[in-house]
Amino acid sequence: MADPYVRFANSELGRRIVGAVGLPSPARLERWHSQRQREVEGALLVGGGPLAIDVAGWAAGFAEAVYSVPPLDPATPAWSQDQGQRPKAVVYDASALRTPAELQQLMAFFQPLLRALEPCARVVILGTAEEALSDPIARVTQRALEGFSRSLAKELRDGGTAQLLYVAEGAKDQVEGALRFLLSPKSAYVSGQVLTLRPAAVHTTQWPRPLEGQRALVTGAARGIGAAIAETLARDGAKVVLLDVPQAHAELAALAARLGASALNLDITSSEAASELLAALPEGVDIVVHNAGITRDKTLANMTPEFWDPVIAVNLEAPLRLTQALIEHKALGPAPRIVLLSSVTGIAGNRGQANYAAAKAGLIGFAEAMAEPLAAQGGSIVTVAPGFIETNMTDRMPFALREAGRRMSALGQGGQPQDVAEAVAWLAQPGAAALNGQVLRVCGQSFMGA
């Protein structure tokens, strides 16, 4: 599925018309492709507090060139506006800011950069997680970073994105893995997000195939987001089992053949689903992606059990039941990772989608409730909440709603299945343990529920 307006707005004629009439001009987003060598193809600029030196060290492994403001050490040349490359990525360590007056350092650092960035630039601000701060003024100051980073994300042009990453005490070793995702085109449709990295014993170390040898299950894998997830997990080294309803047999078999994966035709709401799944996974599974989902939209006034029940059954009850079965039968490998596909609708609610929103909000609660037991095994359970993604599901929407869904985000366009898949693949890495229980929106900073 494509968004023809993005193509038009980026054509020569389209640019002129869009500029003259004042229409939205969504950028053509850069995405990851197999020929890329590094996460940052271009200059990475680091600045701010004590973590800047660590970032410069890690970045040598994934950025083409690293600069700093102010000068950090002899290995990291100073950047200035008149000389040196335009930054493709920026990391600013704000973790040492402790008073509201010090927040002005953010303005001083970012203002000269705003017109100097490359298209599709990536910005990450690092902060200190609140549990490490006992002084209320310091907590207030760190909390202020949320408003700043989300506003910065809305002011960046040409497909630029910005995120805030709070780092808890003892979690510094998890920052590199997060930066490799958030500074690369893999996070093209992730913007205005706030995440906290917490200490975890496991890390992602095997670049560039971080899932090598891992066994993964993806439900709803025959098409759309699920097919993209399966493809991306396989690209990153996982052995994938693709699951979808028996009616999707042909698409599932074709994808399985292409990826060297195995296919499992199963309705996840059937009474035998758990036993058939366990039988199909005799060696267990390390990564479980609960992606299968359906919508049956009706306003609450017109809702009937025929619309309500299947949505709750597929989107919420089946992931709960299947996860429980995998845990009870010890079918999850050591340090298992579970990723749940929620939706921004589950965060914001949506007219005509009370059933779907309830199910998708329930998944966020599921991750929060299960985070502790999974952490005890070195594992994690996290939720990905996509915004408007170009798939069969959104293609069925009425034209006006579809257009509104596409444009009502800071990036002014819908995302691609690959954008969600890249986020899931990141959260399927061992380092996801640092994000256990959290929600990552992949929504182009959608205005819904933001």
Ligand X SMILES: NC(=O)c1ccc[n+]([C@@H]2O[C@H](COP(=O)([O-])OP(=O)(O)OC[C@H]3O[C@@H](n4cnc5c(N)ncnc54)[C@H](O)[C@@H]3O)[C@@H](O)[C@H]2O)c1
Listed residue (95, 117, 241) closest to 168, CA to CA: 95
Size of residue set near ligand X by CB under 6 A:
27
* Cα atoms found within 13 Å of the Cα of residue 343, Cβ hemisphere only: 25
- Of the candidate spans 78-86, 179-187, 218-226, 372-380, the one that interacts with ligand X by CB under 6 A turns out to be 218-226
Binding mask 83-122 for ligand X (x = CB under 6 A): ----------------------------------------
Binding mask 226-265 for ligand X (x = CB under 6 A): x-----------------xx--x-----------------
Cβ atoms of 410 and 404 within 8 Å: the answer is no
Is 151 exposed, middle or buried, given 0-12, 13-18 or 19+ CB atoms closer than 10 A? Answer: exposed
Strands 262-265 and 285-290: unpaired
Cβ atoms of 367 and 346 within 8 Å: the answer is no
Nearer Cβ to ligand X, position 31 or 139?
31
Cis peptide before 210 (omega within 30 of 0): no
Q: What is the dihedral of CA 340, 345, 349, 353, to 10 degrees?
A: -100
Q: Please give the single-letter amino acid code of residue 352.
A: G
The answer to whether 356 is a known catalytic residue is yes
Cβ atoms of 436 and 381 within 8 Å: the answer is yes
Residue with the shortest CB distance to ligand X: 293
Cis peptide before 208 (omega within 30 of 0): yes
**Would you say the C-alpha torsion 309, 314, 320, 321 has a positive or negative sign?**
positive
What's the min distance (Å) between Cβ of 351 and ligand X?
16
Listed residue (399, 391, 410) closest to 343, CA to CA: 391
The 8-class DSSP code of residue 298 comes to: B
Q: Please give the single-letter amino acid code of residue 124.
A: V
**Interacting residue with ligand X among 174, 187, 196, 219 (CB under 6 A):** 219
**Interacting residue with ligand X among 44, 222, 289, 450 (CB under 6 A):** 222
Q: Is 446 one of the binding residues for ligand X (CB under 6 A)?
A: no
- Of the candidate spans 17-25, 53-61, 90-98, 224-232, the one that interacts with ligand X by CB under 6 A turns out to be 224-232
Beta bridge partners of 126: 93, 165
**Interacting residue with ligand X among 26, 48, 220, 319 (CB under 6 A):** 220
Binding mask 382-401 for ligand X (x = CB under 6 A): ----x-xx-xxxx-------
**Interacting residue with ligand X among 141, 214, 291, 323 (CB under 6 A):** 291
Q: Is 292 one of the binding residues for ligand X (CB under 6 A)?
A: yes
Binding mask 321-360 for ligand X (x = CB under 6 A): --------------------x-x-----------------
- Of the candidate spans 87-95, 149-157, 223-231, 296-304, the one that interacts with ligand X by CB under 6 A turns out to be 223-231
- Of the candidate spans 89-97, 106-114, 135-143, 215-223, the one that interacts with ligand X by CB under 6 A turns out to be 215-223
Footprint of ligand X on this chain (CB under 6 A)?
219-220, 222-226, 244-245, 248, 267-269, 291-294, 314, 341, 343, 386, 388-389, 391-394
Catalytic positions: 356
